[in-house]
């Protein structure tokens, strides 16, 4: 069986022939497009390391058949920076030391971008924690992650207040 | 995962034709199905991908005031639909208490109703499971069964239905629209799922090839919007299935209960609606004594299926508290931790 899938990946149109319908979006990104920033943790929708945006919404790439997404727009961690300028969420993760080993970080950042787009959490740490409960961090950098999300949220809202030096 | 034929029909009619052969399964978002396929728990020969059928992706308000939710509306789109959440706050709260944000963005209304049990022995292909392999036995009976059913179970199967969404849907008389090769029919959500009996492999009244196309909530169910809650005890604060949950809706006049709606999750192979408890509440004072008597009636037939006797008093307590929270009133804003027993009644920060 041969299937053709057309996707826009990080703004670039891609048309791919699939020899097997079992290919997930995650495996397509990592093994056929060499976009290995999206990580495979559990491969069962439990850890969030594979989080990407599909048509602007965060989803687990491991639980989507690539064939099913024909026509969709996909954004991965490779597509969030503007040239050498980091995305405000990336910059905030560095500033707040929101990682240790870094394996979960692409998923955390994509999930945070999705969370901020959804507009349900604001700066409330409880709502941020709840909204990111689908992203596990084995190093338990959660305190820094919540701070980074609050900071990035403020930056993106254009209301970042001056902090004491 | 086994190999399968992949077909992508352009309409419901085409999909039903494509799914009418043995071994076919519908693929909506696949958040449960792909997980099951990766574990070889289910091995469909053909996947009929309905995920992009536009006709099933709408939330409609019908002329008679009913709300009709297409089967492919995502959990998050429904929960964050402002009009829907205002009219059916316990349904929105249940949706937002389930899974993770990523899964809610993908998972669909129809898929939620038809998701499979999370019984570990159903998932483990090395274990005996009458649901996965009829007449092979049930390893849960002598296994880790602290999460299993206390109502409606049988010797053949003690698994529970894992859905949060279905619990308030059962309480508020939702109707499921089903389409198949012989046309369209409707069943009450309460009658969609089957108790295990001697055939736990048969989980719903759907016939082969039939598809859920929509779920309807009646205009009358909005009457509970001011006093409607979902409460869910989990083994961790977020992103966990219910140990026990309850949906409660009240209509209160002059301190007395005019009508009550109640359903339990995590206790049986279907969302459990204790109608006798609802009836007992009518005309009673909205107070702890009434809620306690209703809870006793609701669990009157409960019995442990293993190491889960604790679920019976837990379910009583959850009922009392859900009714109490409903009587206090639906929070103005969705709680930061939806359905959590750690939230304050108004949903404000518990550590603020």
Domain assignment present for residue A47? The answer is yes
The verdict on a CB contact (< 8 Å) between A65 and B34 is yes
Domain assignment present for residue A165? The answer is no
- Chain B positions touching A48 (Cβ under 8 A) are 100, 102
In this structure, are A102 and A65 located in the same domain? no
End residue of a domain, out of A46, A61, A79? A79
End residue of a domain, out of A61, A79, A97? A79
From B64's Cα to the closest Cα of chain A, the distance in A is 31
B318 at interface of A, judged by CB pairs closer than 8 A:
no
In this structure, are B75 and B173 located in the same domain? yes
Domain assignment present for residue B15? The answer is yes
3-class SS string, chain B: CCCCEEECCCCHHHHHHHCCCCCEEEECCCCCHHHHHHCCCCCCCEEEECCCCHHHCCEEECCCCCEEEECCCEHHHHHCCHHHHHHCHHHHHHHHCCCCHHHHHHCEHHHHHHCCCCCHHHHCCCCCECCCCCCCCECCCCCCCCCCCCCCCECCECCCCCCCCHHHHHHCCCEEEEEECCEEEEEEHHHCECCCCCCCCCCECCCCCCEEEEEEECHHHHHHHHHEEEEEECCCCCCCCCCEEEEEEEEEECCEEEEEEEEEECCCCCCECCHHHHHHHCCCECCHHHHHHHHHHHCCCCCCCCCCCCHHHHHHHHHHHHHHHHHHCCCCCCCCCCCCCCCCCCCCCCCC
In this structure, are B309 and B215 located in the same domain? no
Domain of A151, in residue numbers: 88-156
Q: Which of A21, A24, A57 sits opposite B6 (nearest CB)?
A: A21
In this structure, are B254 and B298 located in the same domain? yes
Indicate which CATH number applies to the domain containing B97.
Answer: 3.30.465.10
End residue of a domain, out of A79, A104, A121? A79
The verdict on a CB contact (< 8 Å) between B8 and A67 is yes
In this structure, are A92 and A132 located in the same domain? yes
The verdict on a CB contact (< 8 Å) between B349 and A64 is no
- Give the C-alpha separation, A152 to B246, whole Å: 37
Q: Which of A48, A118, A127 sits opposite B336 (nearest CB)?
A: A127
Indicate which CATH number applies to the domain containing A150.
Answer: 1.10.150.120
In this structure, are B187 and B295 located in the same domain? no
Domain assignment present for residue B105? The answer is yes
- Chain A positions touching B120 (Cβ under 8 A) are none
What are the tens digits of pLDDT across the range B78-124? 999 999 999 999 999 999 999 999 999 999 999 999 999 999 999 99
- Chain A positions touching B51 (Cβ under 8 A) are 68
In this structure, are B186 and B100 located in the same domain? yes
In this structure, are B287 and B235 located in the same domain? yes
Domain assignment present for residue A164? The answer is no
In this structure, are A97 and A63 located in the same domain? no
pLDDT in single tens digits along all 352 residues of chain B: 999 999 999 999 999 999 999 999 999 999 999 999 999 999 999 999 999 998 999 999 999 999 999 999 999 999 999 999 999 999 999 999 999 999 999 999 999 999 999 999 999 999 999 999 999 999 999 999 999 999 999 999 999 999 999 999 999 999 999 999 999 999 999 999 999 999 999 999 999 999 999 999 999 999 999 999 999 999 999 999 999 999 999 999 999 999 999 999 999 999 999 999 999 999 999 999 999 999 999 999 999 999 999 999 999 999 999 999 999 999 999 999 999 999 988 876 545 4
In this structure, are B75 and B190 located in the same domain? yes
Domain assignment present for residue B151? The answer is no
In this structure, are A92 and A65 located in the same domain? no
Distance of CA A127 to the CA centre of its chain: 18
Domain assignment present for residue A13? The answer is yes
pTM of the model as a whole: 0.97
In this structure, are A8 and A56 located in the same domain? yes
Residue reference for tokens 């309460």: B190
In this structure, are B310 and B323 located in the same domain? yes
From B129's Cα to the closest Cα of chain A, the distance in A is 21
- Give the C-alpha separation, A115 to B348, whole Å: 20
Please tell me the total count of domains within chain B: 3
In this structure, are B211 and B99 located in the same domain? yes
- Chain A positions touching B240 (Cβ under 8 A) are none
In this structure, are A92 and A27 located in the same domain? no
In this structure, are A25 and A73 located in the same domain? yes
Instruction: Report the chain B residue with the minimal C-alpha distance to residue A128.
Output: B336
In this structure, are B209 and B241 located in the same domain? no
The pLDDT of residue A160 is above 70: no
Domain assignment present for residue A128? The answer is yes
Domain assignment present for residue A161? The answer is no
Provide the 10 A C-beta neighbour count for residue A37. Answer: 18
Domain of B95, in residue numbers: 55-114+161-220
From A100's Cα to the closest Cα of chain B, the distance in A is 23
From B238's Cα to the closest Cα of chain A, the distance in A is 6
In this structure, are B246 and B106 located in the same domain? no
Domain assignment present for residue B208? The answer is yes
Instruction: Report the chain B residue with the minimal C-alpha distance to residue A53.
Output: B102
In this structure, are A71 and A17 located in the same domain? yes
In this structure, are B203 and B105 located in the same domain? yes
Q: What percent of chain A has pLDDT over 70?
A: 95
What are the tens digits of pLDDT across the range B232-259? 999 999 999 999 999 999 999 999 999 9
Rounded to 5 degrees, what are φ and ψ at B202?
-95, 110
ipTM of the complex: 0.96
Domain assignment present for residue B130? The answer is no
């Amino acid at each position: 069986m041969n299937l053709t899938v057309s996707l826009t990946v990080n703004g670039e149109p891609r048309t791919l022939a699939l020899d097997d319908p079992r290919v997930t979006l995650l495996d397509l990104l990592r093994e056929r497009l060499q976009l290995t920033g999206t990580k495979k943790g559990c491969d069962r929708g439990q850890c969030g390391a594979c989080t990407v945006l599909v048509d602007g919404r965060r989803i687990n790439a491991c639980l989507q058949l690539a064939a099913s997404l024909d026509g969709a727009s996909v954004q991965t961690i490779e597509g969030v920076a503007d040239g050498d300028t980091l995305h405000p969420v990336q910059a905030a993760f560095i500033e707040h030391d929101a990682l240790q080993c870094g394996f979960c970080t692409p998923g955390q950042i994509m999930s945070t971008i999705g969370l901020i787009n959804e507009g349900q959490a604001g700066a409330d740490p409880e709502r941020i924690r709840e909204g990111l409960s689908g992203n596990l961090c084995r190093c338990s950098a959660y305190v820094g992650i919540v701070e980074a999300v609050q900071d990035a949220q403020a930056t993106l809202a254009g209301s970042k207040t001056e902090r004491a030096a | 995962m086994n190999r399968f034929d992949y077909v992508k029909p352009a309409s419901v009619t085409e999909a039903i034709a494509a799914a009418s052969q043995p071994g076919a399964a519908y693929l909506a978002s696949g958040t449960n199905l792909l997980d099951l396929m990766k574990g070889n728990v289910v091995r469909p020969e053909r996947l009929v991908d309905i995920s992009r059928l536009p006709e099933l992706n709408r939330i409609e308000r019908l002329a008679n005031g009913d709300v009709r939710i297409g089967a492919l509306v995502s959990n998050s789109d429904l929960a964050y639909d402002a009009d829907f959440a205002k009219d059916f706050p316990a349904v929105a709260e249940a949706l937002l208490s389930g899974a993770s944000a990523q899964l809610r963005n993908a998972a669909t209304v129809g898929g939620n109703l038809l998701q499979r049990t999370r019984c570990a022995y159903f998932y483990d292909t090395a274990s005996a499971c009458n649901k996965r392999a009829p007449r092979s036995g049930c390893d849960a009976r002598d296994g880790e069964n602290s999460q299993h059913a206390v109502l409606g179970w049988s010797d053949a199967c003690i698994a529970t239905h894992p859905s949060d969404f279905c619990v308030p849907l059962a309480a508020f008389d939702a109707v499921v629209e089903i389409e198949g090769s012989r046309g369209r029919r409707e069943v009450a959500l309460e009658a969609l799922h089957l108790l295990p009996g001697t055939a736990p492999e048969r989980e719903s009244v759907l016939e082969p090839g039939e598809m859920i196309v929509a779920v309807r909530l009646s205009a009358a169910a909005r009457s509970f919007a001011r006093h409607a809650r979902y409460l869910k005890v989990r083994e961790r604060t977020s992103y966990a299935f219910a140990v026990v949950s309850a949906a409660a809706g009240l209509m209160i006049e002059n301190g007395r209960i005019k009508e009550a709606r109640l359903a339990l999750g995590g206790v049986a192979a279907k969302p459990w609606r204790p109608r006798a408890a609802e009836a007992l509440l009518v005309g009673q004072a909205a107070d702890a004594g009434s809620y306690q008597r209703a809870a006793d009636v609701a669990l009157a037939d409960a019995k442990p299926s293993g190491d889960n006797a604790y679920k019976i008093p837990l379910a009583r307590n959850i009922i009392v508290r859900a009714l109490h929270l409903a009587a206090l009133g639906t929070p103005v804003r969705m709680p930061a931790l939806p359905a959590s027993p750690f939230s304050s009644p108004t949903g404000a920060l518990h550590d603020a």
